Amino acid sequence: MTRTRRLLVDPIRCDAHGLCAELLPEMVQLDDWGYPIVSDQAVPAHLLGHARRAVAACPTLALLFAEAEVAQPARSRR
Amino acid sequence: MLVAATDPKALWYLTRSFGLVSLILLTVTVGLGVAQLVRYARPGLPRFLIAGLHRNASLLAVATLAVHIVTAVADPFAPIALIDAVIPFIGRYRPLWLGLGALSFDLLIALVVTSLLRQRMGLRAWRMLHWAAYACWPIAVVHGLGTGTDARTGWVQLLYVVCVGLVLAALAWRLSTRWTTAPVGRRLGGAAATAVIVVSVAAWASQGPLRAGWARRAGTPSAQLAPGAPTPGSHR
């Protein structure tokens, strides 16, 4: 069991400002209307800082961290 | 600060110049804040950059205001206590006009602190509090004109006109954007309220700080106005 952090978008709060995709393009793509499609993978360690920045920058606080216990060990990415 | 040791007037010059620098920074902060609201972005100027500049300009304004306040308190000429910079309207030196500066500074501190804690306090409360920015800036401008050592200097007047013009343009930008849910009636109300404020402040300024003898009427203690002391016509 490993504790990992994933990213979630609150679709009600999200207003398609798009700062998350600017700050974390590795995990956030925008759809045709400018709303984010967020990777459901655990945030890799080397992106955690950028993810925190994206979460803090969201104008509507719609980008959230979700703590999750996952069964499989997080794949190490280098 | 080195000059301050050699020339007693240096503190006073620092107070005035850092007041003007703060005015510029606060104006830039308001403009960048509105740019965020109307979702301004260009290929070389992404949203997060404008957000970061808005934040940094406001933090820099706190720093320049710290210098503005500390030098004003340290200057032996004007009887200003440190507490006058935080609690409005209690001082002996031009209490109303200095008090407006303290009020504006308190609002700015509240705006900065709540913005730094935005994630913890939640969006709705933060947004309500952030409306205070529209009080903070004009109060600071009236403080600048009212304490007004430089209100009758040509290039300072030009600076005021440019800053007020920029903020009015920003307001017009905000009121005309498609990114607001505010109904037309409320937008027109905002525009009308702004017009009333601008006209009243301009009318007051033309009768008050832009005329001779303002220092006496502004509530300067008589000791500073006594013969031999620097008069309104001189550098004070």
Mutate to test the interface with B, among A61, A63, A64, A65 (most CBs of B within 10 A): A61
- 3-class DSSP state of A2: strand
Counting one residue from A and one from B, how many pairs have CB atoms under 8 Å apart? 22
The more confidently predicted of residues B112 and A77 is: B112
Half-sphere exposure of residue B193, counting CA atoms within 13 Å on the CB side?
Answer: 11
**CA distance to partner chain B, nearest, from residue A56 (Å):** 7
Contact A19 B51 (CB under 8 A): yes
Residue B27 is predicted with a pLDDT of 98
Strands A2-9 and A63-70: antiparallel
| Per-position pLDDT tens, chain A of length 78 | 566 889 999 999 999 999 999 999 999 999 999 999 999 999 999 999 999 999 999 999 999 999 866 555 555 554
Identify the structural domains of chain A with CATH numbers, from first to last: 2-70 (3.30.70.20)
Q: Which residues of B11-36 are buried (b: 16+ CB within 10 A; e: fewer)?
A: bbbbbbebbbbbbbbbbbbbbbbbbb
Residue B28 is predicted with a pLDDT of 98
pLDDT band (50, 70, 90) for residue B76: confident
Residue B214 is predicted with a pLDDT of 87
Task: Please write the tens of the pLDDT for every residue from B139-162.
Answer: 999 999 998 788 888 999 999 999
**What ipTM was assigned to the predicted interfaces of this complex?**
0.82
Task: Please write the tens of the pLDDT for every residue from B162-197.
Answer: 999 999 999 999 998 887 778 888 899 999 999 999
Contact A19 B123 (CB under 8 A): no
Contact B119 A19 (CB under 8 A): no
**CA distance to partner chain A, nearest, from residue B119 (Å):** 7
- Would you give the distance in Å from CA B147 to the centre of its chain? 12
pLDDT band (50, 70, 90) for residue B231: very low
Contact B48 A57 (CB under 8 A): yes
Residue B233 is predicted with a pLDDT of 40
Residue B169 is predicted with a pLDDT of 97
The answer, yes or no, to whether residue B102 has pLDDT greater than 90, is yes
Residue B58 is predicted with a pLDDT of 98
The more confidently predicted of residues B2 and B146 is: B146
- 3-class DSSP state of B233: coil
Query: Is the minimum CB–CB distance between B48 and chain A shorter than 8 Å?
Result: yes
Residue B91 is predicted with a pLDDT of 85
- 3-class DSSP state of A37: strand
In whole angstroms, what is the distance from residue A38 CA to residue B50 CA?
23
Residue B234 is predicted with a pLDDT of 42
Contact B39 A56 (CB under 8 A): no
Q: In chain B, where are the structural domains located?
A: 2-218
The answer, yes or no, to whether residue B65 has pLDDT greater than 50, is yes
B60-64, B82-86, B180-184, B227-231: least confidently modelled range: B227-231
For B173, counting Cβ atoms within 10 Å of its Cβ (0-12 exposed, 13-18 middle, 19+ buried), the class is middle
Mean pLDDT computed over B23-51: 96
Mean pLDDT computed over B102-121: 96
